[in-house]
Amino acid sequence: MASATFRGVEGRQITIPTGLFIDNEFVPALSGATLDVENPNTATHLATVSAAQKEDVDRAVDSSEKAFATWKKSDPSTRRAFLNKLADLVEEHGPELSSLEALESGILYKDSLGLHVGQSVENLRYFAGWADKLDGTTLLIPQGLAYTRREPIGVCAAIVPWNSLMILFWKLAPAIAAGNTLIIKTAELTPLWGQKVGELVKKAGFPPGVINIIPGLGNVAGQALTEHPRVRKISFTGSTPTGRKILQAAARTNLKKVSLELGGKGPSIVFDDADWDNALLWTTIGITASNGEICIAGSRIYVQDTIYEKFLVEFSKRSRDAVQGDPLLAETTKGAVASKAQLDKILSYVEKGKKSGARLLNGGERLPGDGYFVANTAFADVGQHDAIMQEEIFGPFASIAPFSTEEEVIAKANDSNYGLGSAVFTNNVSRAMRVTEALETGTITVNCWGLVHANTPFGGVKESGFGRDMGLEALEGWTSTKTVKYNILK
């Protein structure tokens, strides 16, 4: 099978196969279809990989279905051992995974290694521990006894986004721990780290077909998975419009189970009693980490009017300066955004912000160089119904507005179609309790932003989707409850 070679961190040579990972082998697409992968940091060709078509999805489903017949009966301790082995390998090969992610998406190597790889390992080990603890309950019924069993769903699929390799493991770990087999479709922009994961799955010793990984276009391979009559569940992270299409496909085919983690327009609320430096630190990180290409980005910032102007000055100072360049280098603090299309989208919202009359604090332009670099951007005095306050931009783009009262800011924060994440900054515990209870988001952080942990569920409400990754709640999405009732004859 063909392969591609790259130069990663510190000149490390990385070679990966470029085929579809089906049945523990890398194979070309039956039609020979391929995808070209670009390096957004240089706007140059990076690699060519096989692109799954409908017939290749059928091959993957056949493989997963065959594997499920025995995998579902595997002892939980066996699944635990495989997941722990994979965790060890992901940790060992972290520099390669993070190098690939930096090359194909522009994320900083140090951020990928510290967060994405770290979270991947944590989730694998966390759900490995759950493999032998998926218990049912015993229930008393008139004239008998009943009990429930938590059983795997069957052949499942995960469609993962281009902005983070850890999301693949948010789905893989609970799916496999529960006894399912899993087909993973990686994003067309960033399939390379998925190819490396396939190598590690095989090295960990998983039986063929338990985990298949197929790069491909969303409207080809992704659509084939969502419409496939033998795929019993789809877990998707991505845009809200695509989530709607997946729900429609599930409804008109086999009513497969669906979980969706979709877009966001996260509010960060700064009260005047908040710790000043801490609030500035986390609101800055919340919109500049990963170039703001995060669904939970704190892209709406509401600041109490008594500290508003002072906050604008300090926030602009902290957010506007960045060292752009090669994301593999330690000194770089800003890589490229993931594609030319993403760059153009961000710049189009700059024009919308200017036309709306909002005050441009900093940024708003493409940075020099061959890659898709854009300046950290912040607008102040943004109207509540302006496009830059209501629509997901997915870039380093902050929209800031003042508020006077607690009631006012709760209403503004909830005035959104999205409900993924939010952050509250205050030293008043009673206020924090009131505001967190009132906010309509699936995750809320207090005096910090965006922290993720394997044991805490993550997901949204409203048009940010439903279902949860991570935590015990994630396992509910990867299992089915069977009830058994005995009539006790006397």
Annotated catalytic sites, by residue?
Answer: 261, 295
The first and second tokens of residue 109, run together, are: 């190597």
Can you tell me the distance from the alpha carbon of 172 to that of 470, in angstroms, rounded to the nearest whole number?
11
Query: Which residue, among 168, 386, 120, 421, has the nearest Cα to 295 in the 3D structure?
Result: 421
C-alpha 45/C-alpha 39 separation (Å) is 6
Burial of 326 (0-12, 13-18, 19+ CB in 10 A): middle
> Which pair of tokens denotes residue 96?
């390669």
Burial class (CB in 10 A: 0-12, 13-18, 19+), 146: middle
Q: Which pairing describes strands 300-304 and 465-466: parallel, antiparallel, or unpaired?
A: unpaired
* Strand (E) or helix (H) holding 352: helix 340-356
Print the SS3 string covering 169-192.
HHHHHHHHHCCCEEEEEECCCCCH
Cα torsion 125, 129, 130, 132: sign: positive
End-to-end, the C-alpha distance of the chain in Å comes to 66
Cα separation of 90 and 215, whole Å?
Answer: 20
How far apart are the C-alpha atoms of 328 and 333, rounded to whole Å?
10
The structure tokens listed for 475 are: 């396992």
**Token pair for 213:** 């990984």
Cα distance between residue 103 and residue 335, in whole Å: 10
The set of residues, in sequence order, having a beta carbon less than 8 Å from that of 219 and lying 6+ positions away, is none
**Beta strands 138-141; 479-487: pairing state:** unpaired
- Interatomic CA distance for residues 353 and 362, integer angstroms: 12
3 state DSSP class of 36:
strand
* Token digits of residue 489: 């004859």
C-alpha to C-alpha distance for 366 and 368, rounded to whole angstroms: 7
* SS3 state at 418: coil
- Cβ-proximal residues to 110 (8 Å cutoff; 6+ apart), any chain: 330
Q: Find the Cα–Cα–Cα–Cα dihedral 90, 92, 97, 98, rounded to 10°.
A: 120
